Amino acid sequence: MSKTEQAPYQVVESHGTIELRDYPNLVVAETEVTGERKQAIQTGFRAIAGYIFGGNLSSEKIAMTAPVLQGTVGDRWKVRFVMPGGKNLTNLPKPADASVSLMELPAARFAVIRFSGTAGEESLTKNTEQLLDFIRSRQLRSIGSPVYAFYNPPWTLPFLRRNEVMVQVAP
């Protein structure tokens, strides 16, 4: 099992591979990227990895966490890393790369579906549709567009990978 810190959450309900989760306020580093999804996550990951590996005004290294998050805003992709516990907007170093910003996300509830394998377009679409069907069947109100969560490095064997599709829902 990986020793990488993961974003904290509380499971409210569990239905097979789908969970309703409550997340606390989270501090994230994010960047916005244009282009197709696969290229956007690679470009975004490199920018934020540069920040946590010392590409900041203090040259401070920040521990890697999981998952890497990717979602859309209009025609752009937002790629985010959740900052480790104990880090906040006052004690994090300022990014050296102007395309990387720090922000605090408010506490929120998400419907989440978990799956393994490679997170290609087909599996993301299939799992997103399954999650949206669940949300509709439970008469939940979704807020915003789906967010993809990737927990493993690219060299992880596909059957050991953890991927998720997350949709914020009204509590």
Secondary structure in 3-state letters for 85-122: CCCCCCCCCCECCCCCEEEEECCEEEEEEEECCCCCHH
Do 94 and 48 share a structural domain?
yes
CATH number of the domain that residue 154 is part of: 3.30.200
> What residue ranges of the chain have pLDDT lower than 70?
1-2
Residues 49-94: tens digit of each pLDDT:
999 999 999 999 999 999 999 999 888 999 999 999 999 999 999 9
43 and 4 assigned to the same domain: no
Residues 130 and 145 in one domain: yes
Of all helices (H) and strands (E), which one includes residue 34? none
Q: Tell which of 80, 104, 128 closes a domain.
A: 104
pLDDT at res. 1: 45
92 and 114 both lie in a single domain? no
- The Cα–Cα gap between 145 and 49 comes to 24
136 lies in the same domain as 88: no
Query: Which of 104, 128, 146 is the endpoint of a domain?
Result: 104
Supply 154's token pair: 């690219």
Number of structural domains (the chain) is 2
Strands across the sheet containing 101-105: 10-15, 18-23, 108-115, 163-169, 142-150, 68-73, 76-82, 26-33, 101-105
- Which of the listed residues 104, 132, 159 is the one where a domain comes to its end? 104
Q: What's 52's domain CATH number?
A: 3.20.80.10
Residue 90: which region, alpha, beta or left (left: phi > 0; alpha: psi -120 to 50)?
alpha
Q: What is the pLDDT of residue 2?
A: 59
Q: Of 7, 144, 148, nearest to 66 (Cα)?
A: 7
Residue 26, token pair as written in the block: 């989270």
**Domain containing 93: what range?**
25-104
Which 3 state secondary structure label does DSSP give 28?
Answer: strand
Same domain, residue pair 97 and 38: yes
Are 56 and 38 contained in the same domain?
A: yes
- The pairing of strands 65-66 and 5-6 is parallel
Confidence at residue 154, expressed as pLDDT on a 0 to 100 scale: 84
Q: Give 118-123 contacts, CB < 8 A, sequence gap 24+.
A: 118/158, 118/161, 119/148, 119/150, 119/161, 119/163, 121/37, 123/163
Rg of the chain in Å (alpha carbons): 16
| Domain co-membership, 76 together with 112 | no
